[in-house]
Amino acid sequence: MCGIIAYIGTKNCKNILIDGLKRLEYRGYDSAGIALLCPNPKAGTSSPALELKIIKEAGKIKAMEEQSVDPLINGTCGIGHTRWATHGAPTRVNAHPHMDCSEKLDVIHNGIVENYAELKEGLIKEGHRFKSETDTEVIPHLMEKYMKKGLLGAMQEVVKKIKGSGAIVALSTEYPDELVGARISSPLIVGLSKEGNYFASDMPAVLKHTKNFLVINDYETVRLTEDTVEIFSREGKIVTREPFKVDWNISSAEKSGYEDFMLKEIFEQPFGVKETMRGRLSDGELDFDELNMSPDQINRLNKVQIIACGTSFHAALIGKQVIEKWAKIPVEVDLSSEYRYRDPLVDKNCLFIAITQSGETIDTLAAIREARSKGAKIVAITNVVGSTVARESDSVIYTHAGPEIGVCASKTFTAQIMVMYLMGLYFGRIKKHISKDRFQKIIRELENIPDKIQKILDRAGEIKIIADKTFKFTCFLFLGRIFGLPAALEGALKLKEISYIHAEGYPAGEMKHGPIALTDAKTIIVGIMPDDQVYEKILSNLQEAKARKATIFSLVTEGNEKIKKYADYSFQIPGTLEELHAILTIVPLQLYSYYIAKNLGRDVDQPRNLAKSVTVE
Ligand code: F6R
């Protein structure tokens, strides 16, 4: 959940590192630091040509950047880190990089060293002196112990000794022409360019400089020089690997005039959804080659198991409903963090689908490993090419939403929902549970979805007015049923994540079984109630809440003017098929959370305590 960037090449790299860290700030943002090999003004017979300079500071990257203005702090090899604290408070001392005792070696790390206490005790007994409370600091001291094996050899020893997870990068004044890195279950990629090579946690950090990448697998170590990359297996053998190219461009990782990434990403949804359909849906036909499944295999499926966390879990809940409805295959949905501990039943006719925007969520990764060990075929739905989940799955369906920088998911959610719709239809068609006419009707409507999302976005001002009037409420209940329920859950999650207001998403039918006790004049009920089979029932729930002095905000279908009799505020979404309305209703809910949070002065792109990819348990 921290962010790593490192560079070795021909360019001065201070700004490359700082710029890269800003692009990674969504991964962690409580402190930051850089270390560079800088020309030593005292270089001579007794002093080395290069010296190590470190700048680090608690708080946002800006605080660290302000300390780094000295022009002498520059060089062509350096490392940078933005931290999301796990062990030790977010202070300057605990910020990365961390040094060894000789102060020649510097290390950055994303992950957790689970056996750090034991390692630290041993190292202290051997005379090593620690400065911070972090688990990471054992790494430079361990490397120092093994430096006789060279910088890479020392890193390989670390990989053998530490338990837990980590992406690690180190540099040393003794090896000024190289950077070394290692990966143990935390994301680490290599970026390749003519002017030098990069390590990074995520592609947006270096998209400005390259679109060519190499993935690094678990327990591999890497040595980068200005113009070479060597990857080594756990056993120390050289590994050959082809680079891949991404088609993301740098503007997709910039705000492009929007106030926040989140707002930009909400507005990018028509494009993200269209891109996700592209190549899969054309001329009324659906193509899903990437699934790598023959019609025979699909016909034999007796169960689909979907696992995911957070927002991706809500996409899974929509997936369950459409796959069951259109393809008549039973679907189980689990939170990844629960799945792996509940001894689940899997067999070879069960299709296992993991939904994960980042492709790095540790619980999702652990769940797919569990399912694989039981013989399931794994399909990943992810937004990040080359991510760990993508690499560990039998097939990958990419959502083509472009990089998502805001910590909370928006455009990747609607892209995930689109994949779920396409998959449900595809299975339904192959299993012959959906007629050609119905299939064509749904496809035609899917093709209208980007325009309908755009129509909602064009009326963002109406949502802002409602948010401006309601942001002081302290309890929000989002109610929905059937396809409206995942939207209600997601609406509540968005609101609590970025505004820090207490919000619950609830099945409207369950109101009387408890939550109605919460309802009073400080409560706002958000009813997700487009025209469908449960509209009248939700309307009754709202009336019950209104009778208890709650304020009502309803999302209804275009043309529903009657709602104004019951609701204090309402917003009309374009009409669509019952199964498809969640991909529309979520858009005003994202905007609603956004404007409430802005009213409260929150940092919507980097909400407190959250990180974009959760790579620790
Ligand atoms: C919510 C959010 C998180 C993620 C969750 C799973 O806005 O961003 O709840 O959805 O951490 O992440 P992925 O999809 O990367 O596995």
Q: DSSP per residue over 327-389, as a string?
A: I---EEEEEHHHHTTS-----TTEEEEEEESSS--HHHHHHHHHHHHTT-EEEEEESSTT-HH
Ligand 1 touching residue 611 (CB < 6 A)? no
pLDDT tens sequence across 408-428: 999 999 999 999 999 999 999
Q: Indicate whether residue 337 lines ligand 1 (CB < 6 A).
A: no
Average pLDDT of 115-135?
95
CB atoms within 10 A of CB 520: 11
Interval between CA 612 and ligand 1 midpoint (Å): 7
The answer to whether 516 and 548 are in contact (CB under 8 A) is yes
pLDDT for the residue numbered 501: 96
Q: Decide if pLDDT at 407 tops 90.
A: no
| Backbone angles phi and psi of 616, in degrees to 5 | -125, 150
Residue 395 CB–ligand 1 contact under 6 Å: no
Mean pLDDT of 465-488: 97
365 lines ligand 1 (CB under 6 A): no
Distance CA 162, CA 34 (A): 24
**Which ligand 1 atom minimizes the distance to the CA of 389?**
16
Least confident of 168-172, 226-230, 257-261, 601-605: 257-261
- Confidence band of 387 (pLDDT split at 50, 70, 90): confident
How many angstroms separate the CA atoms of 60 and 150, rounded?
Answer: 34
Most informative mutation of 27, 202, 311 for ligand 1 (most atoms within 8 A of CB)? 311
Q: Is 357 in the pocket of ligand 1 (CB under 6 A)?
A: yes
CA of 424 to the centre of ligand 1 (A): 22
Phi, psi of 73 (to 5 degrees): -85, 90
- Catalytic (active site) residue 2: yes
Residues 418-468 have pLDDT tens digits of 999 999 999 999 999 999 999 999 999 999 999 999 999 999 999 999 999
Residue 616 pLDDT grade (very low, low, confident, very high; cuts 50, 70, 90)? low
Give alpha helix (H) positions in 14-164: 14-24, 61-66, 116-125, 138-145, 150-161
List the residue whose alpha carbon is closest to atom 4 of ligand 1: 310
pLDDT at 215 over 70: yes
Under a CB-based contact definition with an 8 Å cutoff, are residues 435 and 255 in contact?
no
Q: What is the pLDDT of residue 1?
A: 66
Please give the number of the atom of ligand 1 that sits closest to the Cα of 613.
15
Closest ligand 1 atom number to CA of residue 310: 9
> What contacts 319, CB < 8 A, 6 or more positions away?
306, 331, 333, 353, 355, 420, 423, 424
Question: Nearest 5°: phi and psi at 411?
Answer: -70, -25
Dist CA 262 CA 252 (whole Å): 12
Please give the average per-residue pLDDT across 242-266, as a whole number: 84
247 pLDDT exceeds 90? no
Of 181, 186, 159, the closest CA to residue 170 belongs to 181
> Is the minimum distance from the CB of 356 to ligand 1 under 6 angstroms?
yes
**Ligand 1 centre distance from Cα of residue 614 (Å):** 8
Mean pLDDT of 319-336: 97
Give the integer Cα–Cα distance in Å for 62 and 55: 12
Protein residue closest via CA to atom 7 of ligand 1: 408
Is residue 416 in contact with ligand 1, taking CB distance under 6 Å? no
Report the atom number in ligand 1 closest to the C-alpha of 412: 14
To the nearest 10 degrees (0 to 180), the angle between helices 460-470 and 582-599 is: 50
- Of 26 and 221, which is predicted with more confidence? 221
Name residue 247's amino acid: D
Q: Residue 312 C-alpha to ligand 1 middle, in angstroms? A: 6
> What digits encode the pLDDT tens for the residues 50-96?
899 999 999 888 889 998 888 888 899 999 999 877 777 888 899 99
Does ligand 1 have an atom closer than 6 angstroms to the CB of 358?
Answer: yes
CA of 45 to the centre of ligand 1 (A): 54
CA dihedral 509, 514, 518, 520 (to 10 degrees): 60
- In tens, the pLDDT along 157-193 reads 999 999 988 899 999 999 999 999 999 988 899 999 9
Q: Which residues of 491-508 are buried (b: 16+ CB within 10 A; e: fewer)?
A: bbbbbbbbbebebbbbbb
Ligand 1 centre to CA of 372 (Å) is 22
Per-residue CA distances from 67 to 14, 32, 205, 501 (Å): 12, 11, 21, 35
pLDDT at 87: 78
- Number of other CB atoms surrounding residue 484 within 10 Å: 27
* 81 CA distance to ligand 1 middle (Å): 22
The pLDDT, as a whole number, for residue 601 is 97
pLDDT class of 221 with cuts at 50, 70, 90:
very high
Q: Average model confidence (pLDDT) for the chain?
A: 93
